[in-house]
Amino acid sequence: MLQLNYIRDNKENVLKRLAIKNFKDAEAVIDSVIEKDNLRKATQKQTDDTKAEANVLARQIGDLMKAGNREEAEAMKLKTAELKNNEKLLDEKLKVIEQEVHNLLVTVPNLPHLSVPAGNSPEENLVMLEEGVKPKLYDGAKPHWELTSKYDIIDFELGVKLTGAGFPVYKGKGARLQRALINFFLDKATASGYKEVQPPILVNQDSGYGTGQLPDKEGQMYYVAEDNLYLIPTAEVPITNIYRDVILKESDLPILNCGYTPCFRREAGSYGKDVRGLNRLHQFDKVEIVQIAHPQESYEILEQMLKHSADLLRDLELPFRVLKLCGGDMSFGSAMTYDLEVWSAAQQRWLEVSSVSNFETFQTNRLKCRYKDEKGKTQLAHSLNGSALALPRIVAALLENNQTENGIKIPKAVAAYCGFDMIN
């Protein structure tokens, strides 16, 4: 959620940046936000004045009662009736207007950084870097969904029996590989200075709102109606919400957290080749890195986080590329996003395995995550997060790229964690 005062003071700039994101009717929406807020201010003034008047009268009545002047006090009580009624009406009116302002404000996406390319579709993303050698596979090389059943390491059909499509069962070396990757990713994050946390994987409504999954992406989360809880779509939600309603010391920044969680996404929709096998799941594992940063440092930190995730791919010896997303392809709340994609040799396509974003104050404004600056003023911090990394597509690429006629080779960095260097 954008800061209202910022919109008021920087309207031109806001419109310019919203244009990068292809936000429709930007000017009309911004104008109506400001207009509504003007109404809010006027109404609040009226409400406050009415309350102030009533407070004065109440105090006078109190004094009269104490002085034993009952009759005069009773006479004065009559005068307050109308005020009270007004107060109630104004309170209700104010509440409605505040809600309206809020409802408008949450429809406005974050402002992209000025360096973000304009554009609408994935084709307009900028390729910042491409690294590694795309492997040449032998004749008869298979896509990962065939390899997994050939070596009996991931069972999609069994998952369908237990739960449904998109909930695979990892078996034997497949299960061991998951555990190894999680440990590897967590150890690397810890080595980079991130403090590991193990958060709940169900969150309440407040947390959903805090990071912006609610209200707009409600349908993408699994929901437990009985207890009004949501299964997390990413560890970003519980980890970032740790800092909801928190005022930090400036010297605490930046805060680095990492955590492994399963992630749950409903993402009803497309079927077919693009979502086969591990390409898109309802439940998957991911290690997430999150930082709460000083506004002056957040873009430097974004680069560091990108490098952290890229280094993981280097360790895994996977060919990858880095995209800087164009305005139209970025998520609602992001000011700048880098995507990391690995090359899937059998599918002959790039698979997104990480998304690293700076949200600036868009999340922290809703979270009320602030710090005190050297003057003692409270300021909104910046929040950033990134996948480091999401497992399924990494596994897909590892299986496909490293397949040989004798089995699948496991890269050295992971073999140390697996206890084996070959799946056969």
Partner RNA sequence: GGAGAAAUGGCAGAGCGGUCUAAUGCGGCAGUCUUGAAAACUGUUGUACCGUAAGGUACCGGGGGUUCGAAUCCCUCUUUCUCCGCCA
- String marking each residue 48-77 x if it binds RNA according to CB under 7 A: xx-xx-xx-xxx-xxx-xx----------x
Cβ-Cβ contacts under 8 Å for 95 (sequence gap 6 or more):
none
Q: Is 165 or 247 the residue whose CB approaches RNA more closely? A: 247
In the bound complex, what is the minimum distance in angstroms from residue 47's beta carbon to RNA? 7
- String marking each residue 243-262 x if it binds RNA according to CB under 7 A: ----x---------------
Q: Is 341 or 360 the residue whose CB approaches RNA more closely? A: 360
* Residue 41 found at the interface with RNA (CB under 7 A): yes
Q: What is the DSSP string of 170-185?
A: E-THHHHHHHHHHHHH
Sheet of 320-324: strand order equals 126-131, 320-324, 336-344, 349-358, 382-390, 283-293, 255-264, 195-196
Q: Is 6 or 417 the residue whose CB approaches RNA more closely? A: 6
Buried b (16+ CB within 10 A) or exposed e, 214-242: beeeeeebebeeeeebbbbbbbbbbbbbb
* Residue 200 found at the interface with RNA (CB under 7 A): no
- CA–CA separation, 318 vs 309, rounded Å? 12
Q: Is 41 or 161 the residue whose CB approaches RNA more closely? A: 41
Kindly calculate the radius of gyration of the chain based on its CA atoms and give it in whole angstroms: 27
Q: Is 253 or 351 the residue whose CB approaches RNA more closely? A: 253
Among 45, 179, 349, 412, binds RNA (CB under 7 A): 45
Q: Is 229 or 356 the residue whose CB approaches RNA more closely? A: 229
Task: Please count the CA atoms within 13 angstroms of the CA of 381 that sit on its side-chain side.
Answer: 27
Among 27, 67, 84, 131, binds RNA (CB under 7 A): 84
* Residue 370 found at the interface with RNA (CB under 7 A): yes
- CA–CA separation, 54 vs 49, rounded Å? 9
Cβ-Cβ contacts under 8 Å for 99 (sequence gap 6 or more):
none
In the bound complex, what is the minimum distance in angstroms from residue 52's beta carbon to RNA? 3
Q: Is 22 or 379 the residue whose CB approaches RNA more closely? A: 379
- Residue in the structure block whose two tokens are 């139209």: 328
Residue 325: how many CB atoms within 10 A of its CB? 23
* Residue 47 found at the interface with RNA (CB under 7 A): yes
- String marking each residue 374-403 x if it binds RNA according to CB under 7 A: ----x-------------------------
| CA distance readout (Å), 19 to 2, 108, 121, 131 | 15, 12, 14, 32
The residues of the shown chain that bind RNA, judged by CB under 7 A, are 5, 41, 44-45, 47-49, 51-52, 54-55, 57-59, 61-63, 65-66, 77, 80-81, 84, 247, 370, 372, 378
